[in-house]
Structure 1
Amino acid sequence: MAANTVKSTEGIHCIANSNPCIKTLENDVLSVLKSSKRIIVLAGAGMSVSCGIPDFRSADGLYNTLDLEELGLNCPEDLFDMESFIENPSSFYKFAKRLYPGNVQPSLTHKFLALLQKKNKLLRVYTQNIDGLEVEAGVTSKKVVYAHGSLAVAQCLKCNLKFDAKHIATEVNEGKVPTCVSASRTVKKKGSLKRKGSQQKSNTMEDSNKRGEKNVSDLGTGTLSPKSKRLKRRAATRHNGTRDDLTSERSDDVEDEVGVDPKNYPNNNICGGLIKPGVTFFGEKLEDRVGKALEADREKVDALLVIGTSLSVSPMSKVLRYLPPSIPRILINRNEVVLPKMCADEIDSDDEEDTRDGYIFDASLLGNCDDVVKGIMCALAWKIEEGLESTTLAEPCGSDTGLTEVVGRNYFFPGALVVSLEEDEYEEEIVHCDGCRKKIATNVVMKCTQCFDFDLCYECFPKVSKKHYRGRHKFKSEKI
């Protein structure tokens, strides 16, 4: 789509807050919000821009404003790359300290999600954000699925201990790279757990050292041995928990409690491993909970809100084609969204055909997320203060919704951009095989047609597909 143009098949409906304009908004959007009881929200970075957190791809977004020299990065994408994090974790922590829990307050849009929950209209929030502001705003943690992980939790890459981010808050806010200070431990071997320094020290580790192999402590230096790579992969497995259910959680492979005082042990014997935030870095596979939650919610959802995201990162860009095409879809974003061709072409499910002709969303509310949400709430006469403390609107809106123009299915609010993303601006998809857990190097993958994100490489397909749901699920080849 060319710049400064708006795609429309129905022409201009109205301008400003005229009665026809409000009536159109009522028919296309407000009626859906009034009648729906099980809304799924796909949330993106645009929700948090008003909180002082930049989005990724806009002119003043993260990718265009990041000081690469200051952070020691070659390109913006390195900030969320696992290998780059291992080599230079200070880059990530210098940037991320402003996002950590307690340093940022929720926006009006975050509070709007909590209001949907209070009105018993919210089924689930699938957020691509890592700031945890949905829960801060009042959405219960059980209704939030972190597609890309959360800063609210962290994990030691050496001993695999998982814990609440508050344990590293001091170091992060001081710009330091946090390391694990719990009592030193080793990983289980064949059912036994041995502490370093004990008389039961494993001969396996000694033999490994004699052969010149590096042990897991190398994770703190950036040098990875085969063993430490295996541990790193296990440690990098995403966990979509929240502060409540992951506080002081520990891996099954370790003992002791989080926050153990190292002074209680001889020779100050502490772990010292590098701590990785609980976020999903580029190239990592989504945690199983994302797919399982979508598979369960698919049968319940009655409306979809896409807020503050261009849906340019897979596999979340495929959610639209996975959910039933019959449900209403509403977009709240600064600009229109164009799905990758593969997602747009295959948006029909096995059971239903998408009757939309030439469009994806039933209504696109274009503008700053907070301005759009404020307009919706004014039109619905909803008030944020209903049961939510200290979350009132900044000022009364009266009958002014902020809506300036309606063109086709596009509704324009303050901050709207009339330039759509081109298909080639979308992130290249990285797919991991759910059989061997390796990155699929070919451009074709065998995908389960009934699961949201279950993929197999050609090598694993013959055997694993027969075990997957006892062979009852169908697979199809798909280009990536």
Structure 2
Amino acid sequence: VAGAGISTPSGIPDFRTPGTGLYANLEKYNIPYPEAIFNIDYFSNDPQPFFSLAKALYPGCHRPNYIHYFLRMLHHKGLLLRLYTQNIDGLEKLCGIPDEKLVEAHGSFATASCHLCYTPYPAEEVAIMNDNIPTCSFCAAAVKPDVVFFGEDLPQKYFLHTKDFPKADLLIVMGTSLKIEPFASLVNTVRSSVPRLLLNRHAVGPFEKVPLQRGDHMDLGDLAESVRRFAELLGWNGEIEELMRTQETSNVM
């Protein structure tokens, strides 16, 4: 289970870190409250703030980092049942995690559709990096990437969790504030005997309880450092670095 914190080493700001998070720097958009930028009713009235912010998140501007490749190594070792991510930046897919192992719970920029009549459009027609708001040729409403806004349904693939979480032997939670439902409650759906490991800057969700539930473990601090230490304990660091070199070289070519 992963959130925005796994992408901050790639240069993408998270949402809630005071001073540097995306929500802390929205004054210029003149919105009533930070989350409004991802509210479908607000978008319907004024799509411009979302399109301005989307430039900071748009795929192609950033590269996967060591954390993403650690997750890819879990798959390579046959240990990854599924990766549930809140991220819309596409970096999990870019580092080589296959579609069948990935649940982008909050959607992505890979596809687009009219927010009103749901007519699909090629993602390349939704030109995030220029200042034009794409409009639907059928109803003239704004076309947006298929990123899940507050007030919209989660993708059907999200509901794989009803089968996945009861099967898990270990749940790793990383880089998330566990603030957004229903995603945040996923961590409570593994069997009570299953250990849960939080790799995060701060304790969040059920990990804030003192004492911790039996089987819960935390390593708090800089996430990239925590993941690298974890990989070194497993003896995977060299393999991950080699995977990064080969994958990034092939992506450039």
User: What interval of TM-score do these two structures reach, taking the shorter chain for normalisation?
Assistant: 0.7 to 0.9
Q: How does 1:19-98 map to 2 (within 5 A)?
A: 42-59=1-18, 60-64=20-24, 66-68=25-27, 70-98=28-56
Q: Assess, with a 3 A threshold, how the Cα gap between structure 1 residues 299 and 94 changes in structure 2: closer, same or farther.
A: same
Instruction: State the match for 2:150 in structure 1.
Output: 282
Corresponding residue SS for 1:123: coil
Distance 2:229 2:78 in 1: 21
Deviations, residues 202-224 of structure 1 (Å, cap 9, x unaligned): xxxxxxxxxxxxxxx3xx4xxxx
The one-character-per-residue Cα deviations of 1:338-388 (angstroms, maximum 9, x if unpaired) are 4399xx8xxxxxxxxxxxx93146321112221111112222221214555
Residues 97, 175 of structure 1: 8 Å contact kept: no
The structure number with the bigger radius of gyration is: 1
Matched, 1:302 2:173: no
The equivalent residue for 1:452 is none
Q: CA deviation at 1:276?
A: 1.9
- CA deviations 1:250-270 (Å, max 9, x no partner) are xxxxxxxxxxxxxxxxxxxxx
Deviations 1:7-62 (A, max 9, x none): xxxxxxxxxxxxxxxxxxxxxxxxxxxxxxxxxxx001111111222222222222
Q: Structure 1, unaligned stretches of length 5 or more? A: 1-41, 185-216, 221-272, 345-356, 393-480
2:137 counterpart of 1:178: no
What is the rounded CA distance, in whole Å, between the counterparts of 1:275 and 1:101 in structure 2? Answer: 18
Residues 294 and 67 (structure 1 numbering): CA distance in 2 closer, same or farther, change over 3 Å? closer
Alignment partners' CA distance in 2, 1:82 and 1:90 = 12
Q: Distance in 2 between matches of 1:175 and 1:104?
A: 20
> Equivalents in 1 of 2:122, 2:75: separation in Å?
25
Q: Secondary structure at the match of 1:154?
A: strand
Do residues 379 (structure 1) and 246 (structure 2) align?
Answer: no
Runs of 4+, deviation exceeding 3 Å: 338-341, 385-388
| Residue aligning to 2:204 | 337
Q: Which runs of 5+ in 2 are unaligned?
A: none
Q: Distance in 2 between matches of 1:307 and 1:340?
A: 12
Aligned pairs for 1:186-225 (under 5 A) are 217=139, 220=140
Tell me, in whole angstroms, the C-alpha distance in 2 between the residues paired with 1:83 and 1:280: 13
Quote the offset at 1:109 in angstroms: 0.7
Q: Partner residue of 1:323?
A: 190
Q: Deviation at 1:296? A: 1.5
8 Å contact from structure 2 (residues 207, 216) kept in 1: no
Give the 3-state SS of the residue equivalent to 1:296 in structure 2.
Answer: helix
Greater displacement, 381-390 / 80-89: 381-390
Gap change, CA 1:129 and 1:365, over 3 Å in 2:
same
Q: Which residue of 2 aligns with 1:247?
A: none
Matches within 5 A, 1:60-459: 60-64=20-24, 66-68=25-27, 70-157=28-115, 159-168=117-126, 171-180=127-136, 184=138, 217=139, 220=140, 273-291=141-159, 293-339=160-206, 358-360=211-213, 362-382=216-236, 383-388=239-244, 389-390=246-247
Aligned-pair Cα RMSD in Å: 2.3
How many angstroms apart in 2 are the aligned matches of 1:160 and 1:284? 12
C-alpha distance 377-339 of structure 1, shift in aligned 2 (>3 A): closer
**Shift in Å, 1:133:** 1.0
**Please, what TM-score do these two structures have when normalized by structure 2?**
0.87
Paired AA for residue 6 in structure 2: M
Cα pair 2:3 2:176 within 8 Å, conserved: yes
Provide the rounded CA distance (Å) in 2 between the counterparts of 1:164 and 1:144: 21
- Per the normalisation by structure 1, the TM-score is 0.48
Task: Provide closer, same or farther for how the CA distance between residues 380 and 322 of structure 1 changes in structure 2, counting only shifts above 3 A.
Answer: closer
2 CA distance for matches of 1:290 and 1:338? 20
Task: Go from structure 1 to structure 2 and tell me whether the alpha carbon gap of 1:323 and 1:116 turns closer, same or farther (over 3 Å shift).
Answer: same
Q: Deviations over 1:262-309 (max 9, x none)?
A: xxxxxxxxxxx4202211112334334312x11121342111000101
For these two proteins, the number of residue pairs brought into alignment is 244
